[in-house]
Structure 1
Amino acid sequence: MGVKRYELSEAQWIKVAPLLPGKLGDPGRTGSDNRLFVNGCLWVLRSGAHWRDLPERYGRWKTVHRRFSRWCHAGVWERVFEALTVDRDNKYLMLDSTIVRAHQQAASGKRGAKDQALGRSRGGLTTKIHMLTDALGRPLRFIVTAGQVGDVTQAHALLEGQAGDAVLADKAYDSNALRTIIAGIGAEAVIPSNRTRKIAIPHDAIVYKQRNRIERCFNRLKHFRRFATRYERRTIHFTGFAFLAAAMIWLR
C-alpha cells in the first residue's frame, strides 16, 4: 500500500522512529503503533479538521487526541524537533514572527482565553509565533505569545545559547539592547534602522536579502492548517503542533 496523503514516507519514518518513546529498550510498553499514531496527528495538523473527524484507520479519535496531549506535556514533540535540528547552518541566524488568527473554539471552555497566549484585537483573537531559523530558513526555536506582544521582546530568549556570524531581522527588532546581545554572541546585527533613530546604523544590504528565507519558511509552515489557524484552547497543544510542523520542514 502506498503512502497516503499527509503521511510519513519510509525515509522520513526511519529518521523519526528512533526519537520516539516506546522503542525497544525503553521502559514500559513498546509503541508498536507509533507510526500510525504520528500519521494520525499529521492528518489533523495538515487538514485542519476536528479531531472527531479523524479517519478510523488511525484509531479512536479520543485515544489519539489523549496520546497527542500526553506527548505535548511530556515534551516529546519538542525533543523530536530539537534532535532533527542538530545538522544546522549557523552562518546566519534569522528572527521573525507571524500572527495567526484563533478560531472561536480556541477561546471556548470554562477557562476561556486566560493565560493561553491569546490576544484580543479588532480582528478577533490572535496568537503570535516568534521564530528563529538557521541560514537555510529552517526553524530552530519557537516562542508562542498573545498576538499583541512585541517582536523584539522575545528576541533575547530566542537567541540564548545560539551562535552565528550574523543575525538578520527587520526593523521591528531594531533596539540598542538587542544589538548589544547580538554583539555578545560574536555576531553582526544585520537589522535596518527604525525611523525613530536620529542617526541610522548601516547594515549589510546584500546579506539582508537572505532574510526572505525565514518568510518563506513561515509560508511553508502555514500549509499545515492547524499552524495557520489556531484551533487549540491550550497553548501547549498548539505549540505541540508547531513543533510537529517544524519537524516536517527538517524532514523534507
Structure 2
Amino acid sequence: MTADRESILPTIWEVSDDLWARIEPILAAAWPRRDPRGRHHADWRRCLNGIIYQMRTGCQWNALPKVLGDDSTVHRWYQRWCRLGVMEKIWADLVQTCDDLGQVHWDWQSADGCMGKARHGGDHIGKNPTDRGKNGTKRSIVVDEQGGPLGVVIDGANRHDAKLLKATIEAIVIERPDPKEHEQHLCLDKAYDNPSGQSAASEAQYTPHIRRIGEEKTTVTAKHPDGKPRRWVVERTLSWLNRCRAILVRYAKNGKNYLGLVQLACSLIWYRRLFRLNGLG
C-alpha cells in the first residue's frame, strides 16, 4: 500500500469492527459465561475503548468520559484481563496473522531498552539513573526489521539492558522460525557489548551485530554493506509507545497492569500493519 493509504487510518482511540471481530473470541475464551441465564457482564467493547483512552491520555480512571462506561467497571475488567494475560493473547493473535501472510520480517531484528518515570511506585521499579534516582521502570523490547514489536519485558530503571536481553527474547509472543533453517540477525547498541548481552544473543542462535564500545562512527556503507541501517527501527518503536501517556509515565502500581498497557499498544501497532495489508477502513 502507498503512504497515502497508510494515512487513512488515524490514531486509534477505539476498537474498529474488524479489530473487535478478532478480539471478542479471545475475551470470551478467557472469561466464559458460566450460566447463560445469569447476569450479563459489562459491554466489553466499551470497556476496551475506555482502556485505550486511558492508555493514550494517562488520565485517572475516574476521569474517563461517561460515554465509555462506569470507570470502576472499566478498571475492574482492565485488571482482570491483565491478570489473565488477555492483552498478550490479542497481541500474539495479530502477530501470528501477519506472520501467516509473510509480513513478519524475521531476518533482521533489533532490541533496546527505554526508561520512564514510575509516579506511584509498585513492583518492577528501581532508581532511575537519568532522573536523579527517582523511581522508574525500564521497558526492554525486541522488534522485527520494520519495527513491529515481537516481545517486551519490564523491570526497574536501574536494571542493565544486557541483563534483560535473554528475558526479552524469550518473551516473543509467537514461535520464532528455526534459526538453523532461517538465519536471524540481531542488532544491538554498545550497552550490549558485554558477556551478558553477547551470551544472550548467542544462546538464542542469533547472528549478533553489536556496536563495540570505543568504536568510532563510520559511514553507513562501511557499517552496512547493503547501505541500509538496521537498528534505528527499535528506537522508532519506543517512540511510538511513548506517545501513549500512561506508558511514557507509569501510574499503575501493579507491574502486570502496566505491562498489559504496553502489550495493548503493541497490538495496535500490528493492527495498523494488518490494516495496510488488507486495505481496511
TM above 0.5, yes or no, is yes
Q: What displacement does 1:182 show? A: 3.0
Say whether the 8 Å CA contact 2:140–2:152 is kept in structure 1.
yes
Name the amino acid aligned to 1:76. Answer: V
Q: What displacement does 1:13 show? A: 2.5
1:146-202 Cα distance to aligned partner (Å, 9 max, x none): 000000001112223744520111010112454344344443111111239xxxxxx
Q: Distance in 1 between matches of 2:12 and 2:238?
A: 21
SS of equivalent residue, structure 2 residue 105:
coil
Q: Distance in 2 between matches of 1:237 and 1:135?
A: 28
Say whether the 8 Å CA contact 1:89–1:136 is kept in structure 2.
yes
Match in the other structure for 1:242: 262
Cα-Cα RMSD: 2.7
Q: Distance in 2 between matches of 1:4 and 1:246?
A: 14
Say whether the 8 Å CA contact 2:162–2:196 is kept in structure 1.
no
Q: Distance in 1 between matches of 2:202 and 2:127?
A: 35
* 1:4–1:52 distance in 2 versus 1, CA, 3 Å: farther
* 1:237–1:184 distance in 2 versus 1, CA, 3 Å: closer
Say whether the 8 Å CA contact 1:174–1:194 is kept in structure 2.
yes
Say whether the 8 Å CA contact 2:127–2:136 is kept in structure 1.
yes
Say whether the 8 Å CA contact 1:94–1:168 is kept in structure 2.
yes
- 1:210-249 paired onto structure 2 within 5 Å: 210-249=230-269
* Aligned length in residues: 234
Match in the other structure for 1:159: 169
Q: Out of 59, 78, 103, which is 1:49 matched to?
A: 59
Asked whether 1:16 is paired with 2:26, we answer no
Match in the other structure for 1:61: 71
Match in the other structure for 1:205: 223
Name the amino acid aligned to 2:107. Answer: K
Match in the other structure for 2:154: 144
Asked whether 1:191 is paired with 2:210, we answer yes
1:120-165 Cα distance to aligned partner (Å, 9 max, x none): 2415211100111111111111110000000000111222374452
Match in the other structure for 2:111: 95
Say whether the 8 Å CA contact 1:22–1:31 is kept in structure 2.
no
SS of equivalent residue, structure 1 residue 127:
strand
Q: Distance in 2 between matches of 1:9 and 1:223?
A: 20
Say whether the 8 Å CA contact 2:163–2:196 is kept in structure 1.
no
- Structure 1 stretches lacking a partner, 5+ long: 108-112, 197-203
Q: Out of 175, 191, 200, which is 1:172 matched to?
A: 191
* 1:70–1:223 distance in 2 versus 1, CA, 3 Å: same
SS of equivalent residue, structure 2 residue 230:
helix
Q: Distance in 2 between matches of 1:183 and 1:239?
A: 27
Percent same amino acid at aligned positions?
Answer: 26
Say whether the 8 Å CA contact 1:99–1:128 is kept in structure 2.
yes
Q: What displacement does 1:59 show? A: 1.6
Q: What displacement does 1:218 show? A: 0.8
TM-score by length of 2: 0.75
SS of equivalent residue, structure 1 residue 101:
strand
SS of equivalent residue, structure 1 residue 148:
coil
Match in the other structure for 2:48: 38
- Structure 2 stretches lacking a partner, 5+ long: 1-9, 216-221, 273-281
Q: Distance in 1 between matches of 2:11 and 2:168?
A: 35
